[in-house]
Amino acid sequence: MFDLILRNCNLPDGRRGMDIGIRDGRISAVETALAGEAGEVIDAAGQLVTPPFVDAHFHMDATLSYGLPRVNQSGTLLEGIALWGELKPLLTQEALVERALAYCDWAVAKGLLAIRSHVDVCDPRLLAVEALLYVKDKVRPYLDLQLVAFPQDGVLRSPGALDNLKRALDMGVDVVGGIPHFERTMVDGAESVRILCELAAERGLPVDMHCDESDDPLSRHIESLAFQAQRLGLQGRVTGSHLTSMHSMDNYYVSKLLPLMAEAGVAAVANPLINITLQGRHDTYPKRRGMTRVPELLAAGIPVAFGHDCVMDPWYSLGSGDMLEVAAMGLHVAQMTSQDGMRACFAAVTATPARILGLDDYGLEPGCRADLVLLQAADPIEALRLRATRLLVLRAGRIVARSPAAVAALDLPGRPSRVDFSHRS
């Protein structure tokens, strides 16, 4: 006896016409022609059912603050950081919580049920940390929120930042963050990586650093991060986020760097929407694209996820929590237009970030939590092409969001018409 059966589902791995049986909030069977009674049966009609979208890199403390107190005029990362510095003293816990909860509503509606969010720890009041810990608890029935202690102004450059960061970890923040390229020198950047990785090793925590988020071809902090991961035995627990300088690095150096990263078990997160808009701002033409070398990282065996990074904040004025938009941008910027490339882009917003976040319950295996999204698309590639409608979003077997299918009818005489965006030749 099942609580719910989803019939005739296409799965991301290419299986078609599968039935998914759900009992007590978990997947209990994935089979063709699944036998057994069910409290409810939903016909997926040959459309894609996937585990939910996962965002490996976000800033929930800044989200939906666009225009406060003013708009970023230059469009650069550095003006964004300055602008966030102007906003910080004006923040209230109520407003932080309200904006974060509003974003979580958007996320759930888009089938985005797990987010790793950095939270700035440079404000000694740790208002944002308190607010997001509260939000994490509140949204737990719907969404897994993982927090990274992020010293936005530099753990060495900003007085008191290291103590604040440790306090944030004491309060329950999950991951150690950093921003070596914002320290005053390359030497300080490398030192910050050492200090933070040692702290993570001591506390048994994962590491996720903003790393080399610039167009500087000589920015080398990912090398330091890989070195420290290896030295401290942190393989599989360390992530380098952004890595945009790799776009501009010398090819010979990159051919040495990628095997070092693979050997150190370091994962990478690119943030396509943000990288394409923030980087290259000092260039005339040709103008660099700024995103890290995604296909080359993947070919070296390094897991690569795509993050949203920002939605309507000092760095980015757009966005809606739609990870298919993020993946589609990554696909275009990295020219990952082959079938395998497009499938890797879909994985970069689903299974790969789930692995990076260490989500144990994630997937379609029996025993996994029944977190599922029914998309108005036949397969992952069609989902990317259409930024497909999330017809149903399930959390632990319960429907938590639904959107109507796109329909239209021209009703021309002799040509009854109903829009169908799919292409089934």
Binding mask 72-111 for Fe ion (x = CB under 5 A): ----------------------------------------
* In the complex, least distance from residue 118 CB atom to Fe ion, rounded to whole angstroms: 6
- Name the amino acid, one letter, at 301: G
Q: Which residue is nearest to Fe ion (CB)?
A: 309
Residues 6+ apart with CB under 8 A from 134: 97
Say if residues 96 and 62 touch (Cβ distance below 8 Å).
no
* In the complex, least distance from residue 259 CB atom to Fe ion, rounded to whole angstroms: 26
C-alpha dihedral sign at 62, 168, 82, 247: negative
Q: Bridge partners of 171?
A: none
| 281 phi and psi angles, rounded to 5 deg | -75, -15
Give the C-alpha separation, 371 to 363, whole Å. 8
For Fe ion, the closer CB: 85 or 341: 85
* In the complex, least distance from residue 338 CB atom to Fe ion, rounded to whole angstroms: 28
For Fe ion, the closer CB: 197 or 243: 243
Residues 6+ apart with CB under 8 A from 63: 99, 100, 103, 310, 311, 312, 313
Q: Interaction with Fe ion in 213-252: which residues (CB under 5 A)?
A: none
Give the C-alpha separation, 408 to 377, whole Å. 16
3-state helix, strand, coil in the chain (%, to 5): 35, 20, 40
Task: Fill in the DSSP letter of residue 379.
Answer: S
* In the complex, least distance from residue 70 CB atom to Fe ion, rounded to whole angstroms: 21
For Fe ion, the closer CB: 28 or 241: 241
* In the complex, least distance from residue 135 CB atom to Fe ion, rounded to whole angstroms: 18
Say if residues 178 and 213 touch (Cβ distance below 8 Å).
no
Per DSSP bridges, beta strands 2-10 and 175-176 are unpaired
Residues 6+ apart with CB under 8 A from 278: 75, 76, 77, 80, 213, 290, 315
Structure tokens that stand for 389 in this block: 């409608």
For Fe ion, the closer CB: 59 or 220: 59
For Fe ion, the closer CB: 309 or 371: 309
For Fe ion, the closer CB: 60 or 351: 60
Give the C-alpha separation, 208 to 424, whole Å. 41
* In the complex, least distance from residue 11 CB atom to Fe ion, rounded to whole angstroms: 32
* In the complex, least distance from residue 213 CB atom to Fe ion, rounded to whole angstroms: 7
Say if residues 314 and 278 touch (Cβ distance below 8 Å).
no
Q: What is the size of the binding site for Fe ion (CB under 5 A)?
A: 1
* In the complex, least distance from residue 351 CB atom to Fe ion, rounded to whole angstroms: 22
Binding mask 405-424 for Fe ion (x = CB under 5 A): --------------------
3-state secondary structure (DSSP) of residue 99: helix
For Fe ion, the closer CB: 119 or 334: 119
Helix then strand count (H, E) for the chain reads 13, 15
3-state secondary structure (DSSP) of residue 207: strand
Instruction: Verify whether residue 183 is a known catalytic residue.
Output: no
User: What Cα–Cα distance (Å) separates residue 107 from each residue in 54, 191, 231?
Assistant: 10, 36, 37
Residues 6+ apart with CB under 8 A from 3: 22, 23, 24, 38, 39, 40, 397
Q: Interaction with Fe ion in 291-330: which residues (CB under 5 A)?
A: 309
For Fe ion, the closer CB: 210 or 369: 210
Catalytic-labelled residue, pool 183, 213, 223, 382:
213
Give the C-alpha separation, 255 to 232, whole Å. 24
Closest CA to 195 of 182, 219, 213, 177: 177
Residues in contact with Fe ion by the rule CB under 5 A: 309
Residues forming the active site: 213
